[in-house]
Structure 1
Amino acid sequence: MLSLRTISRSIPRTFSRSIASSALRPSTLVKPALRQPLKQAVKPAYAAFSTSSVFKAPASEGDIDLLAKLEDELKHEKSSDIPEFEEQQENIDAIVKNGEWTVKDVEGEQEVILSKKFGNETIRVSFTVADIQNISEQDEFDDAALSDELDFQNQNQGAEELEQPEPSFPARVNVTIEKASNGALLIQTVVQDGVFQIEEVSHFAKAELAQAQTAEKDWARQSLYAGPPFENLDEDLQGLWERYLEERGLNAEFANMIPDYISVKEQKEYLRWLDAVKNFIGA
């Protein structure tokens, strides 16, 4: 799991600007006695457009230090964890290809959308890199405490015991399943350690409400009955819903892929952000 990064966004910018001047020519019809006052009136207005030394001021020492630090951070990030990310990317590509998923992953945007057809259904899976950025310090402390506890248990159980894998971070994943003229299901889940933990299953007569891409639609959706908490359902019914997702390719392999996808995309976006900010400061 990637460590959280915090870089202050104090980004002053200096620039230079010069404005070309044009000669002001008084009309030949103006009497000589009136020409001198005219020149005196024009001169202050003309001087106001001259290049000021403020615009030619060099970058501050803070700008120079910030630019150097951004360049160092960019070089460090480009050289670190390359084999790990390449392996994760290969695994992601294989799962996406085998599952016949279409990916919408726009540079600079946080949300990722995977979609495909399944019989008469259109399945849409969405998640965001914000989940890895919003992990609190308390979560990191809890993970560290859990890791220490597992290490202690492993030592007591003997060398023959396998080391427990590091738990993955929770990622919120929304699944919409749409049927033409029959509305759509919205299945809200949290993915962690290869498991889709279903929190709520809702049905909407209008499929557009399941996605709710505008504030108006989101407000309209919130006014409707969303169904009971998933944990309140009969255990057999809960199991059948989990099977329902698995038959559509939302299985353990797919669930394990999502945190990897978030990690890889977050790294790409971070590098893109570093490069953009560095270019801005150095302009």
Structure 2
Amino acid sequence: MVGKSLKKWWPVFVLPTFAAFIIGFLWPFIWGIYLSFCKFTTVKDVVWVGLANYKKIMIGGDFSHAFWLTVVFAFVSSILINVLAFSIALALTKGFKGTNAFRTVFFMPNLIGGIVLGYIWQTLLNGLLSMWGQPLLKLSATNGFIGMIVLLLWQQIGYMMIIYVAGLNNVSPDLIEAAQIDGATASQILFKIKIPMIMPSVTICTFLTLTNGFKMFDQNLSLTGGDPGKKSQLLALNIYDTFYGRSGPQWKGIGQAKAVVFFVLVVVIALIQLRSTSSKEVQA
């Protein structure tokens, strides 16, 4: 009876969520793509300009700088976060006392909001660097880049560590015991058994860290604000600055075009990453 009722009434339950999805996501997304080909200040004074906004993106140097800085930032942060998170997870699955406390401590930074986290680290780094008479935001863009890397590592390592701990705990002890009986070394067990067996965890963590690196906005805004001279400005902040920080109807269209390019970039890289890591997963 329950199954028949579900088959009969499932549209009633699905419709509200589906309607919310269309109203809150799908329609704004389609409308946003259309606006990227227009010049406007509000949605009531839209003027079609074709590919003019995309041409201005390619000419403007601020977008290309933010683009390559974001690519480098996303890949560097992703590699460092995953290597460190896996190393910590490996240490915390050795069975020594106090591992739950360590897991909690490492995970806690992930609970802090990005804006708050950025201001906390701004205070810490400025206080540290001011010992040499130079606060963070008055230094080169390289120092701002390193500051953002440190911030993101501190925030996300604990979350990825939890995922790796779950993956390592699911590795069959029989496989490890059999390898030890056959004379496998610790490094061979790690690279030939543990890492291949936790590739689903690697896929998830790599996807999360890459996309988080590309989408990072609030930490960038609060930590450096793009200073000095917008040289530490990542793509999300660059789009925000173009859309809201400049006057004139042409800038909103350019900002919208940047957002579309940004979306395509993140989707393409995420799909490539998912395909490359998923292909290495081992069926248990």
The question of a shared fold, defined as TM-score above 0.5 by the shorter chain, is answered with: no
- Tell me which of the two structures has the higher relative contact order, counting C-alpha pairs closer than 8 angstroms and 6 or more residues apart: 2
Q: Sort the TM-score into its range (normalised by shorter chain).
A: under 0.3
Q: TM-score, normalised by structure 2?
A: 0.25
Higher strand share: 1
Higher helix share: 2
Q: TM-score, normalised by structure 1?
A: 0.25
